[in-house]
Amino acid sequence: MASPVECGMGRQRWILHLDLDAFFPSVEELLNPALKGKAIIVGGDPNARGVVSSASYAARRYGVRSAMPMAQALRLCPHAIVLHGHHHKYGEYSARVMRILREITPLVEPLSIDEAFLDITGCERLWGPPLEIGALVRRRIRDEVGLPASVGIAANKLVAKIACGQAKPDGLLLVRPGEEAAFLAPLAVRELWGVGAVTAERLEGLGIATIGDLAALGADYMQRVLGDHGRGLHRASLGIDDSPVVSEHQRQSISQERTFSRDVDEPDVLAKELLRMSEHVAASLRSANQVAQTVRIKLRYEDFTTLTRQVRLDQPTDQGQRVHDAAAALFRQHWRGRPLRLLGVGVSGLLDGAGYQLDLFDDLDQRRASLDRALDTIRDRFGRDAIQRASLAKPGRRAEDDREDDATPPAEPAPRSPKPPHS
């Protein structure tokens, strides 16, 4: 395996973005070769308001897309084969892919179960030029795991990710340094990070249809229109991005954010989102065998004003209830009742969980930890949405999202300590 010294000392920065094509259906085809080439939809029950998790390219040709209601997907593609999915198998295949990536460079930042960034700067002397490295990654994943993958390569994460999207399906695209703005210019403005459906509609209403249109208007104009967010989007439109690739060993925090499709001020809706995100963040802690010392919330209002607040816990934790209690207290203290565009929950001050365990005399903590372990087991086997707490299932409208961001997705599960879980 390459070392950080071997990969990372080159003068020209090179970032590779990998995305497994139609990951869930592709795994299903490996498990059942008879499905090869057919219209496959992985998702929930259409009779229970289920949604599409993923669709094969054969189904996508009919307009089927992720997050679409399953009933709508079947109207578009009535002959599709609907599968609830083998979610535990998806995790296994993802782990195999991530191991291959870490053999190319230790600087791997997983974004989700099926995509990751690699910093391949300085790896040329080990694996060849960037294009050869991209081809190597795709070939190894195809030969050793059996999955198709697309790769984008550029001098930064922003452009590499967009290049990967342009290379799909099963392709490879490199954007050379200095060509970023020209590459981005003809693409739809919706391709930019930070541009969800609502922002895209606002920009398009101003006549900004392409990334090049946005770039031509200038940073000052964009700031007048969208505040600091607009200035950041203008910078992105030029292909400028300095964000580093952060490996699991380097990460100092875990967070999840939700940008709503419309501004939300209903307390019950926000409370459910807060609980859901707290549970997700805590599960990520347990997956990585870590505990957190600090909990924070992030509030972004309709005018893009953003507020972050945090609190240090009395004792490090990986429990969903403790994360939620702290996040909810911060929310009650700092939310002023104004409509929110974005809500986020995060934890920081991460420690190795092996050194922390429950107070053996605290029966409540033991019961909470047992419940968390049971939920983890069910979700690992049947998927993240297979079970939820009753408070999340109560009647009431759920806010639909513009974009959900796992800024720090779970790492490949660490070996679990034989000790009881920590508080």
Q: Over 363-421, what HEC string results?
A: HHHHHHHHHHHHHHHHHHHHCCCCCCCHHHHCCCCCCCEEEEECCCCCCCCCCCCCCCC
Name the pLDDT band for 375 (thresholds 50, 70, 90): low
To the nearest whole number, what is the mean pLDDT of the chain? 83
pTM: 0.66
Tell which CATH classification among 3.30.470.20, 3.30.1490.100, 3.90.1660.10, 3.30.9.10 matches the domain 253-405: 3.30.1490.100
Helix (H) or strand (E) holding 235: helix 228-237
Residue 247, token pair as written in the block:
């490996």
Rounded to whole angstroms, how far apart are CA atoms 73 and 45?
A: 12
Instruction: Please state the φ and ψ torsions of residue 291, each to the nearest 5 degrees.
Output: -130, 155
Residues of the chain with CATH 3.30.1490.100: 253-405
| Positions of CATH 3.30.70.270 in the chain | 1-175
Q: Say what the pLDDT of residue 400 is.
A: 40
Q: What share of the chain is helix, strand, coil (3-state, %, to 5)?
A: 40, 20, 35
Placement of tokens 């004003």 in the chain: 305
Helix (H, G, I), strand (E, B) or coil at 262: strand
- Indicate the helix (H) or strand (E) that contains 43: strand 40-43
Average pLDDT over residues 362-376: 56
Q: Where are the alpha helices (DSSP H) in 105-226?
A: 124-127, 130-144, 157-167, 180-184, 197-205, 211-217, 219-226
Token couple for 57: 């390219």
Predicted confidence (pLDDT) per residue in 44-91, tens digit: 887 777 889 899 999 999 999 988 889 999 999 999 999 988 888 888
- CB–CB of 19/168 below 8 Å? yes
Domain 1-175: give its CATH architecture.
2-Layer Sandwich (3.30)
What does the pLDDT look like over 243-258, one tens digit per residue?
Answer: 999 886 666 788 898 8
Instruction: Catalogue the active-site residues.
Output: 115
Judged by average pLDDT, the poorest of 318-327, 373-382, 396-405 is 396-405
Superfamily of domain 181-237: 5' to 3' exonuclease, C-terminal subdomain (1.10.150.20)
Residues of the chain with CATH 1.10.150.20: 181-237
Tokens 């930042």 belong to which residue? 109
Instruction: Say how far apart CA 321 and CA 301 lie, in whole Å.
Output: 26
pLDDT band at 196 (very low <50, low <70, confident <90, very high): confident
pLDDT band at 233 (very low <50, low <70, confident <90, very high): very high
| Rounded-to-integer distance, Cα 239 and Cα 215, Å | 10
